Amino acid sequence: VTDPVEPTRNGYGLEPEDWDELRRLGHRMVDDVIDGYQSLRDRPVWQPVPETARERFRSPLPLEPMGAERAYEEFRKYVSPYPRGNSHPRFWGWVNGSGLPLAAFAELLAGAMNSSVSGFESAAPLVEEQVLGWLKEMLGFPASTGALLTSGCSMSNILGLAVARSSKARIDMRRAGVAAAPQRMVLYASNETHSSIRKAVELLGLGSEALRIIPARADFRIDTDALEAAVAKDRRNGLHPFCVVANAGTVNTGAIDDMPRVADICEDHALWLHVDGAFGSLAWLCPELRPKLAGLQRAHSLAFDLHKWMYLPYDVGCVFVQDAQAQHDAFAVSPSYLSQTIDGPALRATSFADYGIELSRRFRALKVWLTLKAHGLQSFEQQIRKNIRQAALLAERVEAHPNLALAAPVALNIVCFRYLDPDAQAEELDQLNHDVLIRLQTSGVALPSHAVLNGRFVIRTAITNHRSNYEDFDILVEAVARLGAEMSNGERRRLARRSSMSGL
Ligand SMILES: Cc1ncc(COP(=O)(O)O)c(C=O)c1O
């Protein structure tokens, strides 16, 4: 019988025909990866994908093999030159980590092991368990805490809130569903809270109206008096307040909610405290910053990322739930095909799958394990401390500049500021700062992003980058000041021209 998919030189087999060829290609890939890291500073932070490359992404579904080398050539030409930019030393947009080289190789190793980390007996789940133990220790949570690595903080937020919903429901939530709740379940978060919380609330069937938005104070931290009043009012109105989401580092400004006070309110009203500590909770690594994060360990659940302020490549986040049993009860199912056997690989029945949504899971623990071992936690502590100092230095530079002003207090590693033109109105300044930012981003020199604070457009620099030097922030300040001056003058000249043309 002839095998219809017998591999031939140009045939349809999926294994390499020539391992030495793949080895050579693999070595080239490794060389290119290292060259890419080494030349980061020589490249623009960001550049748009040109039409010549875009065209390639409209090519038809490939039916015939083109071979690994040619496919890789396409990657080199059309994909790798156009990254998001977050590995570059002057990328400070949104909250994107800078990516550790060793961790990129860990991804290769994990891919080669091809483990599906749902549970069962093999080394990968043991690595994840060890990593989770380290993360708990690192953030001061007890070893008994339930934990899971996730694809990121959005997933961690929904998992934490799912446990909150089940635990605080006055019904069997899993069986009866939200509609059976005798009173509408409601939860609270400040208006500075990340959109993933709203998404989670909607996906959990609670409805976005159940998310009570509490105003933040001038320092962008939740107004705890308004929070307490809202809880009391909802209770009087027959609703069922069940949870507060506190921020340990808001996405816009890095503000840290008054967690001890929020935790007290939660205790007084028997509410679940979920903390979104996406990046801010990592500041716990620096002992001198811990007072800012007081109350963190009072969270019933904590969501945070390692692809932000632990500099790991995408993706890896984590969720903690103090009551591991509650986490298990919120998700575990035991179909017969996943049950335990007395020996062999199923000796240990699925476990991670019982603490979250996914059954098949990436071996994302490996990059955490390898980099923590290789670099040691102290190296991460030092880098976080450096980023905090860089934020303070940038804030000083901004304050010292006659045409720049801080737009928010700097709580941690985020600096929001504006270019000021004394002759411009507030709306004109919004436009000017927007235009300056776009020019800066498209110049490839530096990449902060933006935020809208109290209705005003601001330039926002979120520093979760282990490659940034102190001088990189001088370059940023100089570029914003220069562009601001050029563009406000240009704008004035344009306006003057327009008014002289119209005879005014
Ligand atoms: C405070 C906060 N929460 C949640 C998220 C969502 O995290 P992820 O993008 O990892 O899903 C972010 C992302 O920037 C964030 O800053």
CA distance 451 to 502: 36
Q: What is the DSSP string of 31-54?
A: HHHHHHHHTGGGS-S--PPPHHHH
CA distance 355 to 147: 8
> Among 241, 268, 244, 265, which Cα is nearest to 181's?
241
Cα atoms in the 13 Å half-sphere on the side-chain side of 350: 23
CA distance 313 to 127: 18
Backbone φ and ψ for 139, nearest 5 degrees, come out as -105, 10
Q: How many CB atoms sit inside 10 A of residue 443's CB?
A: 15
pTM: 0.95
CA distance 110 to 402: 51
CA distance 151 to 149: 7
Backbone φ and ψ for 472, nearest 5 degrees, come out as -60, -30
Residue nearest to atom 7 of ligand 1 (CA): 153
CB 125 within 8 A of CB 369: no
Question: Burial, 148: exposed, middle or buried (Cβ in 10 Å; 0-12, 13-18, 19+)?
Answer: buried
Per-residue confidence in pLDDT tens, the chain, 504 aa: 555 555 555 557 899 999 999 999 999 999 999 999 999 999 999 999 999 999 999 999 999 999 999 999 999 999 999 999 999 999 999 999 999 999 999 999 999 999 999 988 899 999 999 999 999 999 999 999 999 999 999 999 999 999 999 999 999 999 999 999 999 999 999 999 999 999 999 999 999 999 999 999 999 999 999 999 999 999 999 999 999 999 999 999 999 999 999 999 999 999 999 999 999 999 999 999 999 999 999 999 999 999 999 999 999 999 999 999 999 999 999 888 888 888 888 887 778 999 999 999 999 999 999 999 999 999 999 999 999 999 999 999 999 999 999 999 999 999 999 999 998 998 999 999 999 999 999 999 999 999 999 999 999 999 999 999 999 999 999 999 999 999 997 666 565 666 565 554
Residue with tokens 């921020």: 247
Residue 335 is classified by DSSP as -
> Among 217, 286, 295, 212, which Cα is nearest to 253's?
217
Question: Burial, 376: exposed, middle or buried (Cβ in 10 Å; 0-12, 13-18, 19+)?
Answer: exposed
CB 165 within 8 A of CB 206: yes
In the reported structure, the alpha carbon of residue 86 is separated from the centroid of ligand 1 by a whole-number distance in angstroms of: 15
Question: In this structure, what token pair is assigned to residue 40?
Answer: 């980061």
Question: In this structure, what token pair is assigned to residue 158?
Answer: 């929904």
3-class SS at 252?
A: coil
In the reported structure, the alpha carbon of residue 115 is separated from the centroid of ligand 1 by a whole-number distance in angstroms of: 26
Please choose from 305, 306, 309, 460 the residue to mutate so as to test ligand 1's pocket, defined by most ligand atoms within 8 A of CB.
305
In the reported structure, the alpha carbon of residue 68 is separated from the centroid of ligand 1 by a whole-number distance in angstroms of: 36
CB 284 within 8 A of CB 311: no
In the reported structure, the alpha carbon of residue 309 is separated from the centroid of ligand 1 by a whole-number distance in angstroms of: 11
Give a three-class secondary structure readout of 184-244: CEEEEEECCCCHHHHHHHHHCCCCHHHEEEECECCCCCECHHHHHHHHHHHHHCCCEEEEE
CA-atom Rg of the chain in angstroms = 26
In the reported structure, the alpha carbon of residue 41 is separated from the centroid of ligand 1 by a whole-number distance in angstroms of: 27
In the reported structure, the alpha carbon of residue 278 is separated from the centroid of ligand 1 by a whole-number distance in angstroms of: 6
CA distance 312 to 219: 30
No. of helices (H) and no. of strands (E), the chain: 15, 12
Residue nearest to atom 1 of ligand 1 (CA): 251
DSSP3 helix / strand / coil % (the chain, rounded to 5): 50, 15, 35
Question: In this structure, what token pair is assigned to residue 458?
Answer: 């601001």
User: Which atom belonging to ligand 1 lies closest to the Cα atom of 154?
Assistant: 11
In the reported structure, the alpha carbon of residue 18 is separated from the centroid of ligand 1 by a whole-number distance in angstroms of: 44
Residues in contact with ligand 1 by the CB-under-6-Å rule are 94-95, 152-154, 194, 196, 249, 251, 276, 278, 305, 317
CA distance 330 to 173: 9
So what's the pLDDT on residue 504?
44
User: Which atom belonging to ligand 1 lies closest to the Cα atom of 315?
Assistant: 10
Residue nearest to atom 4 of ligand 1 (CA): 153
Which amino acid, residue 28? R
So what's the pLDDT on residue 346?
82
CA distance 431 to 270: 46
> Among 122, 119, 49, 56, which Cα is nearest to 84's?
49
CB 468 within 8 A of CB 447: no
Intra-chain end-to-end CA distance of the chain, in Å: 91
Residue nearest to atom 16 of ligand 1 (CA): 251
In the reported structure, the alpha carbon of residue 154 is separated from the centroid of ligand 1 by a whole-number distance in angstroms of: 6
